[in-house]
Amino acid sequence: MSRTIAELTAGEKVYLDETIDGVLSHVPYIYLGQDDSGNCIILREAVAIQKRMHSANVAVYDGCEADVWLEDEDAGYLSRFDAATRAALVSTQIKCNSITTGEIVVIARRCFLLSYTELGYATAPDEGASYLAALQTATGKTGKNARIAYNSSAAAVNWWLRSEYSETQFRSVNLNGNA
């Protein structure tokens, strides 16, 4: 029986077809739930690749290398999906904290990195509601262990967040699930 993604329980898996190096693969994603705009948010279960965040020591997510690569339909992450899948991915409003200005910037993206608050590390500054409970359901792990990311070889890897740690550094999640 078919269901829409919004009918799923947060933490359930969904599968998207990705073409990686010319090979079509059925890839698992974790349905995290709906954001404040009612858009369904999914997270790739295995980390795709390691990517540099910015070419200079600047921790501004909007327009950084990783941000541009994620949204690129020709050579970036979105190029892995067929036209029908890309058309189904809608832009949603995401929040980015600016340590430099002390303001929350809102940008629209179809594909983006999660934030510090979305991983349940803190509630302020508010960069979105926490999806930690969905990750715990999906992984069967509690607390920081649910945040540990793995690659396709099942090796734990560090992963970037869109949140600033300082004016020159982004936050990341390490191999122990700590930010």
Q: For residue 32, which of 12, 17, 3, 2 has the smallest C-alpha distance?
A: 12
- pLDDT of 158 reads 95
- pLDDT of 1 reads 54
Least confident residue range of 1-15, 52-66, 70-84, 110-124? 1-15
Mean residue pLDDT of the chain comes to 93
- Contact residues for 84 (Cβ-Cβ < 8 A; gap 6+): none
- pLDDT of 55 reads 84
- pLDDT of 131 reads 97
Rounded to an integer, what distance in angstroms lies between the CA atom of residue 155 and that of residue 169? 24
Rounded to an integer, what distance in angstroms lies between the CA atom of residue 47 and that of residue 151? 5
The arithmetic mean of pLDDT across residues 64-71, rounded, is 96
pLDDT at residue 67 tops 90: yes
Rounded to an integer, what distance in angstroms lies between the CA atom of residue 92 and that of residue 48? 21
pLDDT in tens, 49-58: 888 898 888 8
Amino acid code (one letter) for 60: V
Tokens of 107: 């940008």
- Contact residues for 10 (Cβ-Cβ < 8 A; gap 6+): 31, 32, 33, 131, 133, 134, 137
DSSP state of 48: -
pLDDT in tens, 13-31: 999 999 988 999 999 999 9
DSSP state of 179: -
